[in-house]
Amino acid sequence: MDVMGLPAKLLGTGETELLHLRSHGKVLIGPTLWLLALAAAGGVLFGVMPASWRPWSGWVATALAVGFAIPAYVLPLLRWRTTTYTLTNHRLITRAGILNKVGHDVPVARITNVAYERSLSDRVFGCGSLVFTTSAEAPVVLTDIPKVEEVGVAISNLLFGVRA
């Protein structure tokens, strides 16, 4: 759970932030492995090029590695950093997007059920997906939420408090 939440100017009157979440860091394992593989491939490429091609071969190998690293690592990292889920006493707020921002707000009063799903890998990493059933819309799914059971209980407590 993140320390930094939404700016106060994005909260309504009397609205307080209860949870501010980001997906589990496990989503960066694959991109990190790709980054390491790219670095190794760049080193091998630089090593097999003839010495007579230097220094240009080094610049070409570096440019290729950076060119492949941007979609393989940098974009997934930025997607992870810019995707947040915030629960307030009034709404569930999702925000995502690097250049084009996408947001979705669901009033807490419309949430009729909170469920969680955990695959084997989710259980290993201590995360899971939260599934919110609403009265009017398709279910809202938050994937790879750290400590998903604790978050689910906190949200259920909020819902019971709202309806009490």
Predicted local confidence at residue 13, as pLDDT: 80
Closest CA to 132 of 120, 147, 148: 148
Average pLDDT rounded to a whole number, residues 142-155:
88
Question: Tens of pLDDT along 64-76?
Answer: 888 989 999 999 9
Arithmetic mean of pLDDT over the chain:
85
Kindly report each contact of residues 63-69 with a partner whose C-beta sits within 8 Å and lies 24 or more positions away, as own/partner. Answer: 65/38, 65/39, 65/41, 68/38, 69/35, 69/38
pLDDT above 60 for 42: yes
Average pLDDT in the 8-20 region? Answer: 80
Q: Model-level pTM?
A: 0.77
Q: Residue 1 has what pLDDT?
A: 43
- Which residues does residue 140 pair with via DSSP β-bridges, in sequence order? 132
3-state helix, strand, coil in the chain (%, to 5): 50, 25, 25
Q: What is the pLDDT of residues 113-147, one digit of tens each?
A: 889 999 999 999 999 999 988 877 788 889 999 98
